[in-house]
């Protein structure tokens, strides 16, 4: 688990982004158990309260599921993962468009370049 934090962005959000990424990329499988909060805090050298907050948010959005006294697990709901994938792709495309629009790249050129580089 290699995670470098940026000290100007809330750590709990960076942790959520990390999990979104490993879940959508299927590095973590549906229903897979997450490390315990304390283990994560210890491994990443971050505040256990911060990990707790990230878990709480992920539970609220349904990304992870925690049953009483059991380790948290990645959701088994494919719909949630699908939605997350769409969100992630959308955000990435929005960001790309914003960047290239600021330097006035025509759509055709952009598409061509994307096709060329995508392989």
Partner 1 sequence: MIEVKHIQKKFGRKTVLKDISFHAKEGHITCLIGINGSGKTTILKSIMNLMSVNRGEILIDGHQFTEAMYEKVAYVPDVLTMPLHMKIKDVFQFMRDFYKSWNDQRADELLTFFKLDKNERLKNLSKGNLAKANMLFGLALDVDYILLDEPFSGIDMFSREQIANVFTTDLVEGRGVILTTHEIHDIEYLIDEVVLLNNGFVVNQFNVEQMREEQGKSIVDVMREVLV
Applying CB under 8 A, the residues found at the interface with partner 1 are: 5, 7-13, 38, 41-42, 44-50, 53
52 vs 66 by CB, closer to partner 1 = 52
- C-alpha dist (Å) from residue 17 to 5, 10, 69, 100, 102: 11, 11, 25, 24, 26
> 56-81: buried (b, 16+ CB within 10 Å) or exposed (e) per residue?
eebeeeebbbeeeeeebbbbeeeebb
Q: How far is the CB of 2 from partner 1 (least distance, A)?
A: 15
26 vs 39 by CB, closer to partner 1 = 39
Q: How far is the CB of 7 from partner 1 (least distance, A)?
A: 4
Looking at residue 74, the DSSP 8-state letter turns out to be E
Q: How far is the CB of 26 from partner 1 (least distance, A)?
A: 28
24 vs 53 by CB, closer to partner 1 = 53
């Amino acid at each position: 688990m290699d995670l470098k934090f940026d000290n100007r962005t809330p750590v709990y959000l960076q942790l959520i982004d990390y999990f979104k990424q490993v879940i959508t990329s299927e590095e973590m499988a549906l229903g897979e158990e997450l490390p315990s909060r304390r283990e994560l805090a210890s491994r990443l050298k971050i505040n256990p309260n911060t990990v707790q907050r990230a878990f709480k948010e992920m539970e609220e959005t349904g990304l992870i599921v925690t049953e009483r006294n059991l380790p948290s697990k990645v959701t088994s709901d494919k719909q949630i993962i699908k939605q997350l994938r769409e969100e992630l792709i959308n955000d990435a495309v929005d960001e790309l468009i914003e960047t290239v629009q600021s330097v006035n790249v025509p759509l055709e050129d952009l598409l061509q370049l994307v096709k060329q580089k995508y392989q």
